[in-house]
Structure 1
Amino acid sequence: MADVWGSIVNVTEASYRIYYFLSSTTMPLFICTSPGCKESAVRRYGSCRICKGYLCVKHVDQKFHRCPNWQKREEVSAYKAQQALAEIAEITALLSRVNVGALCARAATLRNVACNVNLDHSLKNRLSVIGGFNYHVPLTFADGVAWICRIRQNNITSTPTAHTNSLILSEVATYRFLASKTKIPVPAVHDFAIDSPVNTVGVGYILMDQLPGTPLTEHILTEEQKRRVMEQMSDVYAQLSQHPFSKIGCLLNPEDLTAVGPVLEESTVDADADGNLLLLGPFESAREYRVALIQHQLDLILRRESYIKNRIDAHLIHRWLLDDVLERFSEPGPFYLKHMDDKGDHILVNAAFDIVGIIDWEWAQTTTPAEAFGAPVYLLDHPRFYSGDNNLGDDEVAFARLLAARGEAELAGFVNGGRVQHRLAHCITGGEPGNFEVLQTDFISLLRIILPPTEAPITWDQWRAGAWERYAQDPQLQRLL
């Protein structure tokens, strides 16, 4: 049995050709499904779970796309109702692929204890075990031990199977690294398999411990409780800082925890003319990493897959980032592992606010120390941050002080200077993909940090006028026009 499961891991390279670069033959990740249309589908906003369609910049418009629009007040109720029905259909289809007998037998064999798999199709149970991108099937052993089977959701918004398989391998490798190299509390991984013809369970999965505790975001914390959590997170930062890497990218090999592969962040995924997956990286320098991300975003804008309502302004911003902003950053290696979705629900706490687990490492990657050790997103004062205010919030300041108090002055410095990293990351990869208003705020706020007061633009219109003059003859801008 072990040999069969080993072959499931190896089938990744046998079945999928994964390229770690972008080529001139890059093709749209998805094609518009409107009858007779062959244009690029818009990333994320062009994927409709209700009608199960991919839509281009033309057909995503309400004149052609008749599904309820969540942005229109009068259609919100209809949107929610139809979206819920679509979700039920998606999960039912996903769970119908699960071979419960094979899964139960696999788990029972691993522990030599009888096991029960609770594949409950009821709506109430679905909503209790579904995550942002995954579904968690509970497994209970005869001796009371509880595991979960983490299965990647599969719907119209999902990336190709080769990418989701890579995410499984990366998450397993990351958990194994953390469990073997640090004392950071993470669930133990007992088994995994990618989605492939030799996987008898029927779907890609990870079998792991079911941790106790509830997500931090479900609590309203007192100041003392905040401090307790931050003290523990300062220890997490200190531990991660002891493990440098030579490249920027994701851990991808569960058998080689030092190997860094390409970046797996969803917005960076592409395909070539033959449908093969294209990924960016790994990178040996921060500049190489950021240049690749910006150039890819420029390509998506040109192909009408991103920022479809503000393509020209989004293009100007990314050209400016490429030509003027990156040169102001000098960040040599080494690089460090970062949880890339640190909005708070990844931290599980008990009643005493002890951290019992940090989960959801599927997007984790190595990056610059300044980015890796800036304040996590859940500590930001969100109203101030998203309004363009660059001052640190009270929780960020308190976290920096805790790090300094434990002798981690360098890590404290990264938190104190973290606003520039938050702004830069949001500008490059899109804090909210395709949302130009967010990009515009982040960009102007970034310029106000990195430019001297005499050079920083006061308004968006002032900067835009200068950018138009600078790039008037840019060939890509002419194509957009």
Structure 2
Amino acid sequence: MICSSHFCAEHSRLPFHYPSQDTESDAYWTAYHSANTKHLLNRLYQVKTTALVSLASRLRNGISCTIPALMPDGQGHLDVDAVSRQMGGQNCNIDVQFEDGVVWLARIRLDDPLLPPKPTQAYIFLSEVFTLKYLEDTGIPAPKVFHFATESSENPVGVPFMLIEKMKGAPLMWDTTTPIQRTKVLEQLADILLALEKHSFHSTGSLFPSNGSGNVCGFAQSQLFDSPNTTLGPFDTLESSLRAMLAHQRRLIANGELSSLAIDHYLSHRWREDMVPEVLSLHNDAGFFLKHFDDKGDHILVDDDFNITGIIDWEFASLEPKAQAFSSPCMLWPVGDFHAGSNRLSPEEMEFAAIFERRGRNDMAHLVRNGRKMQRYLFFNGGSVSHEQEDFEAMFQGLRAAWAGDNSQPGPYQVWKEEALKKYEGDEQLGRLLQRNSTRSQSATHLDCGPSTPQRHHSLKDESSEILDTGMREGPAGFCMRVAARLSKNKDIAY
């Protein structure tokens, strides 16, 4: 972000790139936020506001409108604070205010070094548009799309954008709600999932516009792109989908794009591939269902009485097997326990299952109560890559335990790793990883590094920096889960 440059895996390190060595300092974070604001302002100044206002007014039969945040003040400054309050990792949402009191949102794609290449962004953008349009016919409370345009010479606004309905309500802050409020939200969320269950698909992937109808195309998730223009999918079977994803992850590790704990992560994906038959046993050919990618809580809008008014941020949504689509949303998970390897359900997850049982849907309750298997199995796809050995081992042991059953616990990780290295010793990619690791270890041994220095304390800020610097590879849910887990380990950190 700070150097405003893109680097491949090979050139992201010395001597090609000189990353900051002190991500603890106020100076680093001042520079980081300054660079972030600079990229945001550059994008906002690219917006042809007059054209956007004219278009919005025309779409409402000539009713006048304004976009206050894009109107320069007396010194020519835009209202960056107003934009930042409604900004996510991929988009900023700016109020379009009509004179009759109606408010729309101009959802504008951001442009900064942490985002995927433009062709990838365009694909994800169009998938979100088509997903929202699909939801209009399902009864799910999602924003209506009034207009959209990609980045092209024919786009009069100058940037990729969509004009969408601004739904009433405020983002749900799950951690600050009372038990009564939580129950009310969960009752309504159960209704929404039951409505989504009525719409199944024959393929897995993401929704995408084309000449046909009800189109399922490749996954609109940046971590599943093979190249800027090519993503995985669609797949007619869960098996083909899982094997393709796992092979893709192993390629990313083998070519150095995912370099943290490379051998450990590679072996974990070989284990996952061995477990594919077990995963398929949970899939009863019921089809695939639309799943929100980032269900950490603030995707739900509620009014003052905690009535759900909308479900927003459908970017990266995909069609998943029933066991994954209707497992508990991550906002209900006991995050600290999850990252520590525990598979216990939170009280809210148990209550969510009980709500389905009261509706006579024991099958849906079963999916909630037994969701850890799929949640852990697929966490790498939209979660995050562990950078610390302790974190990785806890998560992987939790995965093994989830599939071992109630009366069995996995053995020590290091014992498993030694056995796995022997089991997969004929794997060519693994062999290259081991050779690369050996070469680097020898190089490090022969380097004259001068006097030794104390190991830098690894804090939440270090962790956040690592995630941000690999932002295009990790999903938003993974970022929030990682930060929440780090907070649970560092309760003395004050912000």
Shorter-chain TM-score range: 0.7 to 0.9
Kept in 2, the 8 Å contact 1:249–1:281? The answer is yes
Q: Secondary structure at the match of 2:97?
A: strand
Q: CA deviation at 1:87?
A: 1.1
Deviation by residue 1:405-461 (Cα, 9 ceiling, x = unmatched): 11222111110110111100114x262135465443332212112236897532211
Match of 2:112 among 145, 152, 155: 155
Kept in 1, the 8 Å contact 2:206–2:217? The answer is yes
Partner residue, 1:122: 79
- Are residue 226 (structure 1) and residue 182 (structure 2) matched? yes
Superposed CA RMSD in Å reads 2.0
The structure-2 alpha-carbon separation of the partners of 1:430 and 1:351, relative to structure 1 and needing over 3 Å to count, comes to closer
Partner residue, 2:245: 293
- Are residue 173 (structure 1) and residue 173 (structure 2) matched? no
Q: Secondary structure at the match of 1:180?
A: coil
Partner residue, 1:418: 371
The equivalences for 1:110-149 within 5 A come to 110-112=59-61, 113-118=63-68, 119=70, 121-149=78-106
Kept in 2, the 8 Å contact 1:170–1:254? The answer is no
Q: CA deviation at 1:245?
A: 0.4
Q: Which amino acid aligns with 1:267?
A: Q
Kept in 2, the 8 Å contact 1:339–1:365? The answer is yes
1-structure distance, mates of 2:79, 2:396: 45
2-structure distance, mates of 1:135, 1:202: 15
Q: CA deviation at 1:65?
A: 4.5
Partner residue, 1:95: 44
Partner residue, 1:41: none
1-structure distance, mates of 2:382, 2:394: 12
Partner residue, 1:105: 54
Count of residues paired in the alignment = 422
Q: Which runs of 5+ in 1 are unaligned?
A: 1-48
Partner residue, 1:374: 327
Partner residue, 2:225: 269
- Are residue 194 (structure 1) and residue 194 (structure 2) matched? no
Q: Which amino acid aligns with 2:250?
A: L
Deviation by residue 1:112-133 (Cα, 9 ceiling, x = unmatched): 1111122152332232222222
Partner residue, 1:391: 344
Q: Which runs of 5+ in 2 are unaligned?
A: 72-77, 436-495
Q: Which amino acid aligns with 2:142?
A: V
1-structure distance, mates of 2:319, 2:230: 19
Q: Which amino acid aligns with 1:158?
A: L
The structure-2 alpha-carbon separation of the partners of 1:57 and 1:186, relative to structure 1 and needing over 3 Å to count, comes to closer
1-structure distance, mates of 2:175, 2:267: 41
- Are residue 468 (structure 1) and residue 421 (structure 2) matched? yes
2-structure distance, mates of 1:309, 1:209: 41
Deviation by residue 1:255-285 (Cα, 9 ceiling, x = unmatched): 75511111011111122xxxx6111000111
The equivalences for 1:22-41 within 5 A come to none
Q: Secondary structure at the match of 1:199?
A: coil
Q: Secondary structure at the match of 1:206?
A: strand
Q: TM-score, normalised by structure 2?
A: 0.81
Q: Secondary structure at the match of 2:148?
A: strand
Partner residue, 1:39: none
Q: Which amino acid aligns with 2:220?
A: L
Q: Which amino acid aligns with 1:173?
A: F
Give the 4+ runs in structure 1 shifted more than 6 A. none
2-structure distance, mates of 1:210, 1:341: 19
Partner residue, 1:336: 289
Q: Which amino acid aligns with 1:419?
A: R
Stretch moving more, 235-244 or 133-142: 133-142
Partner residue, 1:239: 195
2-structure distance, mates of 1:454, 1:351: 45
1-structure distance, mates of 2:55, 2:327: 41
2-structure distance, mates of 1:317, 1:219: 32
Q: CA deviation at 1:309?
A: 3.2
Kept in 1, the 8 Å contact 2:174–2:182? The answer is no
- Are residue 260 (structure 1) and residue 231 (structure 2) matched? no
Stretch moving more, 359-368 or 109-118: 109-118
Q: TM-score, normalised by structure 1?
A: 0.83
2-structure distance, mates of 1:342, 1:439: 23
Kept in 2, the 8 Å contact 1:403–1:411? The answer is yes
1-structure distance, mates of 2:131, 2:100: 29
Q: Secondary structure at the match of 1:357?
A: strand
Kept in 1, the 8 Å contact 2:124–2:221? The answer is no
Deviation by residue 1:371-405 (Cα, 9 ceiling, x = unmatched): 00000000111111111101111110000000111
Q: Which amino acid aligns with 1:425?
A: L
Kept in 2, the 8 Å contact 1:177–1:257? The answer is no
Kept in 2, the 8 Å contact 1:169–1:254? The answer is no
1-structure distance, mates of 2:218, 2:52: 30
1-structure distance, mates of 2:367, 2:316: 21
Kept in 2, the 8 Å contact 1:114–1:141? The answer is yes
Q: Secondary structure at the match of 1:187?
A: coil
The structure-2 alpha-carbon separation of the partners of 1:442 and 1:434, relative to structure 1 and needing over 3 Å to count, comes to closer
2-structure distance, mates of 1:453, 1:176: 43
Kept in 1, the 8 Å contact 2:83–2:94? The answer is no
Stretch moving more, 144-153 or 454-463: 454-463
Q: Which amino acid aligns with 1:418?
A: G
